[in-house]
A = this chain, B = another copy of it.
Amino acid sequence: MSTADRLIESTRELLWERGYVGTSPKAIQQRAGAGQGSMYHHFTGKPDLALAAIRRTAEEMCAKAEELLSAPGTAMDRVAAYLHRERDALKGCPIGRLTQDPDVMADPALRAPVDETLAWLRERLARVLEEGRERGELDAALDPRATAATIVATLQGAYVLARAAGSVRPFDQAITGVLGLLTAHVRPTE
């Protein structure tokens, strides 16, 4: 891994473990095994590194979601696969969690990739549901856009419930519940 990559990866880990305020340039350098000069050679400072780290996390998250949501199968299969994919429920979503980080939210440049990722997910899920309706898999009463927002919100909120409870149980319940509600819109195959 290049020094720049090591610095980005270390920033990602520290953002995840300690949040933005709790992540010092010194700690990033130590974890990356890079000197101060090297860090400032590649990045203008902590905000610049944090932006690269958040963007990389966002790209990975969208790539994983895209893989599952563009797979073969019905709209319902794909949404279920996306909701059931392995997640570290107790740690929370690496993107969603940033919305509670006051310094990230206060900086428009850092908030942008958070906003874009969650907006992209809603949009992508809405397209899957829309396809399901067009193919006659889902009934016409289903509102693709609002339902997509509900799916993304359920996932983000499920992390909140799991962290509060110190248990994955309410996370799993919330996912089961939203899939149950969606199932009611699946049209019987002829």
Contact residues of A with B, CB < 8 Å? Answer: 18-19, 21-22, 92, 96-102, 105, 111, 114-115, 118-119, 122, 141-143, 145-158, 160-161, 163-166, 170, 173-174, 176-178, 180-182, 184-185
Contacts and interface: CB of A to CB of B under 8 A. Distances in A.
A102 B18 contact: yes
Contacts of A161: 118, 122, 149, 152-153, 156
Nearest to A19: B102
B158 A174 contact: no
Contact of A177 (B119, B149, B180): B149
Nearest to A145: B173
Contacts of A150: 154, 173-174, 177-178, 180-181
How many copies of the chain does the oligomer comprise? Answer: 2
A64 B49 CA distance: 43
A115 B160 contact: no
Contacts of A178: 150, 153-154, 181
18 contacts: A18-B102, A22-B102, A92-B99, A96-B164, A115-B164, A115-B166, A118-B170, A122-B173, A141-B184, A148-B177, A150-B174, A153-B160, A153-B161, A156-B156, A156-B161, A157-B157, A184-B184, A184-B185
A166 B108 CA distance: 10
Contact of A153 (B100, B145, B154, B180): B154
Given A99-B163, A166-B115, A153 B147 contact: no
Contacts of A185: 181, 184
